[in-house]
Structure 1
């Protein structure tokens, strides 16, 4: 079975995977900056007045998952990278 390659370079699936992993890393970094800005004011205030707790917890969990998997993709060993690629 022949692989599709772009102009004699790497197979297209490798290029797509690289772009997706890069997008994941950038999204995690942006998310951490946004959450870092929201934590001191917005999230703490909403928690005190007991509003939107379920959606807030879900959002924070998704952001933590994104940040954690991004760190594993960047700093983890090959085994953890392979696991993260299939879970995210």
Structure 2
């Protein structure tokens, strides 16, 4: 179920931007609480803005991925376990992103944030594994 090169590279680039901006935001948010410098506040805000924009692009790409990759692979019984894990991590990220943006509860927000961070970093490890497993089946 290999994707066409431009589509595949768009997915890789988008998820790389999401990983990098998420990690940079995490560092900047941590530093702004320690150092208190304005630059860290500005960096955190910029990273969050870019991360949100990349997330919107990721939603479009994931929507396009469903008919051309996910459904076809499922019907072919290919890479189902790692594919299901990829779909689950992405669903968790979408739901927790919605919660972070729209829920105002200060009791729930830290939990949602940690779930989002964990799922995001887990997805960044899972994506290369999913690709490797899929390519291994092609041989």
How many residues in Structure 1 have an aligned counterpart in Structure 2? 82
Structure 1 counterpart of 2:80, from 48, 53, 69: 53
Runs (5+) with no aligned partner, structure 2: 1-33, 118-139
Pairing of 1:1-88 with structure 2 (within 5 A): 3-4=36-37, 11-79=38-106, 80-87=108-115, 88=117
TM-align CA RMSD: 2.4
Q: Which is greater in Rg?
A: 1
Distance 2:79 2:35 in 1: 52
After TM superposition, give the deviation of residue 2 of structure 1 in Å.
6.5
When normalised by structure 2's length, the TM-score is: 0.48
When normalised by structure 1's length, the TM-score is: 0.69
Runs (5+) with no aligned partner, structure 1: 5-10
After TM superposition, give the deviation of residue 34 of structure 1 in Å.
1.0
Greater helix share, 1 or 2?
2
Q: Deviations over 1:22-49 (max 9, x none)?
A: 2332232122111111212321110011
After TM superposition, give the deviation of residue 86 of structure 1 in Å.
3.8
